[in-house]
Structure 1
Amino acid sequence: MPSPRAGILRAPDGWIRAWPRAVGADRRAGILLVTVIGLRYIASFERGLANALLGTNIAAPDDVQKSGEGIVGTVKAYIQAASTWRGLGFVALKFWIGILSFILLVTFLGTGIELMLTPVFPDGAFNITVGSWEVAQSIETTTEQAVAVPAGALLALAALHILNAFAGANASIASALLGAENTETAEQTG
């Protein structure tokens, strides 16, 4: 005996094709409009953030060329602009860059600070665990604490250099994806 939902699966083919157009065409266009315009604002915010925090000088892209008037022309221009899609790539990449930045911060700087604080907090100040190594719990004697402090200071100093180098890589990525298209590249591809 067929289930009561079997009728839904046997709906006429024409109804299935017409349903998305009848129900959500305007809604999908609105979502696309909000997404594209929101993405442009997010990319602009990220460009300003990179300029302020990473010492870059990323100019706003000027590749939006309106093909018509009104909101439809603006949306078409935004969709056709390469900077919109580079901004989308940057925003998607920014998530993974943020995760990697956090991992580097905790692994190197957190471990260095934890090692430096072992004489004061023998059970651990932050309870940093790297893999299966519990940093503070692995140091048991006073001699190990005496060695851990300068080792932690060196690791913390190295962590600052590692994080600074990673920030430089972030600046390069932001400049490549959020800035105006390079004229030399445009001449070579055009």
Structure 2
Amino acid sequence: MATEYGQGYGWDDGPGFRGEGTGERGHRLPAALRAPIEARSLREFAYLMLSLPLSIFMFTFAVTMMSLGAGLLITFLGVPVLAAGLAGCRALGALERGRARALLGLDVAAPEPLRMRKQGPMGWMGATLKSGASWRHLLYTVIHFPWAVFAFSVAITLWTTGWTLLTYPLWFWVFPMHGGQDGLQLYGDEGHQVYLDNPFEITVTALVGLLLTLATPWIIRALTLVDRVLVGALLGPSKLATRVVELESDRGVVVDTAAADLRRIERDLHDGAQARLVALAMDLGLAKEKLAEDPQAAARMVGEAHGEVKTALQELRDLARGIHPAVLTDRGLDAALSSVASRCTVPVQVEVDLPARPAPAIEGIAYFTVSELLQNISKHSRATRATVDVWRIENRLMLQVVDNGVGGADAGAGSGLAGLAGRLDAVDGILVVDSPVAGPTRVTAELPWRAA
């Protein structure tokens, strides 16, 4: 959601897709020296070795089914063949995502499911053929084949050549003993041959093999980076589909928030101003009855009712301020935040630097965000001072509330900060909480800038 950042790119020797980030800790050898024998390098090499046979199968299947389906489109049989081919590509895509997860540590979510408008075979075929994810899977099976051939050839050549030359001092004796020649032949024609057979040449050969062996894992890592891009871009959910899911989720948050606000307003009216006005009406009725027989008592009751009217008016003002303060509408964020800061239990310094007023909806969210954060400071922080800063960076409205309290605030613990993060997320906002134990607490909110 909106309260955390970061995603890694590897396995156990660096920041990982699964959250690991051990770096160089616990290793005595530098990364360049230990790379050839690391588990990550072996997994990536295994991934490239498996890519060739799997890509051959996927390419053959996809081309066969698409060609057969296209050829049969003159009859009705072409449609189910094409749909079956696309469905098979989706199944192969699931296999590829699993292989990338197991060997590359790349966790790619499944694409959006088929949206069938009607049940039955016809509905399934129509949904499969209309699905953009199905065609992206087909594109992957076609594109991945030539890449897999190239990556396989480079990886197997470098890996075998490097280890062969590195270990040459251990097995060069095989040639004179069993091969009938002095050593590994570097060059040869009818009149001249060059063999790697003396100690200097053997040492140089091993050094060249060492360099190749050390370089190969990094070249393989670069090759698998292309596979990561292909899998993530073609076999995962599309950006549009992901955005639709986010908007649907945000819409649910907005609806739930609006319903909760309506229930709060109804409860405040029922328990506060409404109950007070009912009691006021009863008191005025009693005063009316006593007006003729006991004018002094009636006057006293009218005075008490007058005080109740003032209290009810104050409660209604407070309730209206909680819905949308008039000072925010009339004078903007600077005056509104200064007003809410004056009601905080600790001294608050407010600094607003905006070239213009944002849209009313964004302005309201910014106001209530700061209001809730200042309420948290009053209730929980035990701070002696706080600051509120509001500014604009390009197309983003930035808010930052800092206090010198005890810290320990956690947006993921089901607190009010979690609800606040959800509200910001509903408008593409971000909430970042930095609150170590013993403080200070720094809460930064980021909202989209929309001009008024």
Query: Does the alignment reach a TM-score above 0.5?
Result: yes
Equivalent of 1:25 in 75, 79, 88: 75
Distance across 2 between alignment mates of 1:88 and 1:34: 12
1:78-97 counterparts in 2 under 5 A?
Answer: 78-97=128-147
Query: SS at the partner of 1:69?
Result: coil
Retained in 1: the 8 A contact 2:112–2:241? Answer: no
Q: After superposition, what is the alpha-carbon deviation per residue over 1:86-128, rounded to whole angstroms, capped at 9, x for unaligned?
A: 1111111221221112111133212111212323333999xxx
Provide the residue aligned with 1:175 in structure 2: 232
Retained in 1: the 8 A contact 2:87–2:134? Answer: no
Distance 1:30 1:185, change over 3 A: closer
1:67-78 counterparts in 2 under 5 A?
Answer: 67-78=117-128
Q: Work out whether 1:137 is the aligned partner of 2:197.
A: no
Retained in 1: the 8 A contact 2:86–2:137? Answer: no
Retained in 1: the 8 A contact 2:79–2:125? Answer: no
More helix by share: 1
Provide the residue aligned with 1:16 in structure 2: none
Provide the residue aligned with 2:212 in structure 1: 155
CA shift at 1:61, angstroms? 0.9
Please identify, of 28-37 and 89-98, the stretch whose mean Cα deviation from structure 2 is larger: 28-37
More strand by share: 2
Distance across 2 between alignment mates of 1:77 and 1:50: 27
Distance 1:98 1:123, change over 3 A: farther
Provide the residue aligned with 1:62 in structure 2: 112
Provide the residue aligned with 2:149 in structure 1: 99
For 2:234, the aligned partner's letter is: L
Q: After superposition, what is the alpha-carbon deviation per residue over 1:126-163, rounded to whole angstroms, capped at 9, x for unaligned?
A: xxxxxxxxxx4215232111111122012111011100
Q: After superposition, what is the alpha-carbon deviation per residue over 1:63-101, rounded to whole angstroms, capped at 9, x for unaligned?
A: 521122111111111111111111111111221221112
Q: Who wins on radius of gyration, i.e. which is larger?
A: 2
Distance across 1 between alignment mates of 2:132 and 2:235: 10
Retained in 2: the 8 A contact 1:63–1:82? Answer: no
Retained in 2: the 8 A contact 1:111–1:152? Answer: yes
Distance across 1 between alignment mates of 2:113 and 2:174: 53
1:45-60 counterparts in 2 under 5 A?
Answer: 45-60=95-110
CA shift at 1:49, angstroms? 1.4
Provide the residue aligned with 1:120 in structure 2: 170
Distance 1:123 1:110, change over 3 A: farther
Q: After superposition, what is the alpha-carbon deviation per residue over 1:7-45, rounded to whole angstroms, capped at 9, x for unaligned?
A: xxxxxxxxxxxxx98xx8354344223212211111111
TM-score by length of 1: 0.71
Distance 1:86 1:124, change over 3 A: farther
Distance 1:33 1:124, change over 3 A: farther
Distance 1:185 1:118, change over 3 A: same
Distance 1:82 1:29, change over 3 A: closer
TM-score by length of 2: 0.32
Distance 1:64 1:124, change over 3 A: farther
Consecutive unaligned residues of structure 2, counting only runs of 5 or more, are 1-70, 176-183, 187-194, 245-452
Retained in 2: the 8 A contact 1:54–1:168? Answer: no
Counting aligned pairs with the same residue, the percent is 27
For 1:173, the aligned partner's letter is: L
Retained in 2: the 8 A contact 1:122–1:137? Answer: no
Distance 1:83 1:184, change over 3 A: closer
